[in-house]
């Protein structure tokens, strides 16, 4: 995927995250499309490229909420590094495993973000984690599985009977 296409997709996902995802909440929890995109982009890349992609996606997300500028850039960079190092090459090419990676990435992202958002209050951090983060990570993972399965169906090449595509 070339850089122009990645930038276009990132902006489209960001706009969807800011506008449409607010209507898809379940019990106050919302999926994180940026994490789903992050996992898709960095899973098969090296750690340096992954951190750069994570930083740029996080910074784009920070532009939507300037009160904590830099928080998402830091969190997405850390998550991208972890996904690149631990997820790339270790797991089979399966949408369920990608969903598991999205689940873990969402939890890791929230572990970085929650202390900052909750002013380092341990009680608020624990309550927010168990009240919102787990369900949001599960929601993101399920949506990620659906998106990855759809993309797999759309990009699958069908071999014709005569041997061509």
pLDDT value at position 125?
Answer: 93
pLDDT value at position 67?
Answer: 84
pLDDT value at position 44?
Answer: 81
**Cα→Cα distances 32→68, 72, 116, 119, Å:** 17, 12, 18, 22
Contacts 24+ apart (CB under 8 A), 91-94: none
pLDDT in tens, the chain (165 residues): 688 888 899 999 999 998 988 888 888 899 999 999 999 999 888 899 999 999 999 999 998 887 888 999 999 999 999 999 887 666 667 888 899 999 999 999 999 999 999 889 999 999 999 999 999 999 999 999 999 999 888 887 655 665 555
pLDDT value at position 159?
Answer: 56
Quickly tell me which residue has 């930083």 as its tokens.
55
Compute the distance between CA of residue 69 and CA of residue 61 in angstroms, rounded to an integer. Answer: 9
Query: The whole model's pTM is what?
Result: 0.88
């Amino acid at each position: 995927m070339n850089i122009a296409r990645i930038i276009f997709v990132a902006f489209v996902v960001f706009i969807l995250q800011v506008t449409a995802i607010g209507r898809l909440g379940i019990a106050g929890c919302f999926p994180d499309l940026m994490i789903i995109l992050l996992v898709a982009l960095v899973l098969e890349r090296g750690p340096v490229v992954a951190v750069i992609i994570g930083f740029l996606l996080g910074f784009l997300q920070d532009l939507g909420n300037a009160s904590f500028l830099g928080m998402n850039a830091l969190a997405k960079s850390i998550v991208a590094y972890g996904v690149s190092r631990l997820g790339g090459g270790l797991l089979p090419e399966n949408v369920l495993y990608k969903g598991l990676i999205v689940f873990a990435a969402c939890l890791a992202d929230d572990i970085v973000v929650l202390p900052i958002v909750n002013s380092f209050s341990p009680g608020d951090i624990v309550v927010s984690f168990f009240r919102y983060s787990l369900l949001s990570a599960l929601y993101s993972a399920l949506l990620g599985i659906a998106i990855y399965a759809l993309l797999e169906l759309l990009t699958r090449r069908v071999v014709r009977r005569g041997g061509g595509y």
